[in-house]
Amino acid sequence: MLFRRTALYVTAACLTALAVPGARAQTPEQASAFVQNLGSRLVAIVNGPGSTEQKSAAMTRVIDSDVDVAGVGRFCLGRFWRVATPEQQREYGALFRKVLILSITSKIGDYQGVRFTMGRTTPRPEGQVVGTTIAGPKKSPAQVDWVVKEVNGSPKIVDVVAEGTSLRVTQRDDYASFLVQHNDSVQALIDALQRQASSA
């Protein structure tokens, strides 16, 4: 499953030294405040009242506003972004967003009771890395780092590193492996994402 690892850290995903176009570094204080606000909103959604549909809609709004979904999608496609046609780029971008959101919102119920603790912020070439610890009643605490950059004037999450593993790098590796097995066909990846989106 192309997004199998993303779902392991659903709250962190609301989610590599390659630069994101139009991105500038936040200060450590700005990045920390951004992640603290984001984390509080995510925890409130997961633990708060409302139906699964209402929580999914609220989570989708958070993802669209606070995650650089388009930039992460381009990163995950890697060098194949440049060989994709404009129409394939548009179709891939829309499907990437849809599958990402589905992979996150479908797991909301599993994270009831989640807790979110802030750690230290470290400036790095890829952005401000804000450390957090995420724990739940049935899950061991996990170290989750959020990579924050300013994109088109607003702070955005550009990567999530869960227990030392970059989710966007892992996703890019999964896509690259799939593409190699399918004769470097971007259309084959698009078709696979479409099937995944339709089966959710």
| Position 164 in a domain | yes
| Position 186 in a domain | yes
Axis-axis angle for helices 52-66, 86-105 (nearest 10): 130
Question: How many structural domains are present in the chain?
Answer: 1
> Is 50 in contact with 58 (CB distance < 8 Å)?
yes
Which CATH number covers residue 55? 3.10.450.710
3-state secondary structure of 185: coil
Q: Are strands 154-162 and 127-136 parallel, antiparallel or unpaired?
A: unpaired
Question: Which residues of the chain fall short of a pLDDT of 50?
Answer: 1, 4-24
Per-residue confidence (pLDDT) for residue 17, from 0 to 100 = 30
| Position 1 in a domain | no
Residue span of the structural domain in which 15 resides: 6-199
What are the residues whose beta carbons fall under 8 Å from the beta carbon of 148, sequence distance 6 or more?
Answer: 26, 31, 34, 35, 127, 128, 129, 130, 155, 156, 157, 158
| Position 118 in a domain | yes
Direct distance between the N- and C-terminal alpha carbons of the chain, in angstroms, rounded to an integer: 12
Rg of the chain on CA atoms, in Å:
16
| Position 132 in a domain | yes
The token pair that represents 64 in the structure block:
């669209």
| Position 32 in a domain | yes
